[in-house]
Amino acid sequence: MDFQKCSLETSDAVIVVCENRSKFQVQNPDKRVLSKVKVDGCLIADGRERCDWIVACNDIGKAMFIELKGCNLDKAISQLESTLRHTNEVYLKHKKECYAVTTRVPKHGSSIRRRCIDFYSKNSATLSVKNVLTTVNI
């Protein structure tokens, strides 16, 4: 995996990744240096499952794994878990946050909450299921 080839260092105030109708924004008001890693088709280009993007802030030890999906939440979770496993050594000391941004998210109820809890206990990373546009502050 060639992180250098697939990464873009940026200190923009807003970092955006989007695909189809799903969009993920990182608000970066302090203009920290963030690493925007294209995972799907670059970092992991073979047949393994992988999420779309990783946005990492190394100076505070935070990595956000992002899957922009239509409506298949099970597939999105599987892709996030796979990417966590494949990049574990690189982000070992980072706090990991995973985001499944779907165009049609199931109703936020006990089943989604349960899946987020199970995801954390299995992967030591938070899971947030969001709809269409998601904004995170760093």
This prediction has a pTM of: 0.94
Question: Residue 106: its pLDDT value, please?
Answer: 61
Per-domain residue ranges for the chain?
3-137
Tell me the mean pLDDT per 10 residues along the chain, length 138.
92 92 94 96 92 96 94 92 96 96 74 92 94 85
Residue 108: its pLDDT value, please?
A: 64
CA atoms of 120 and 107, how far apart (whole Å): 20
The CA distance from 59 to 48, in Å, is: 29
- 19 CB-near residues (< 8 Å, 6+ apart): 52, 68
Question: What tokens does 27 get?
Answer: 């608000």
Cβ(69)–Cβ(76) below 8 Å: yes
Picking from 70, 59, 64, 13, the residue whose alpha carbon sits closest to that of residue 39 is 64
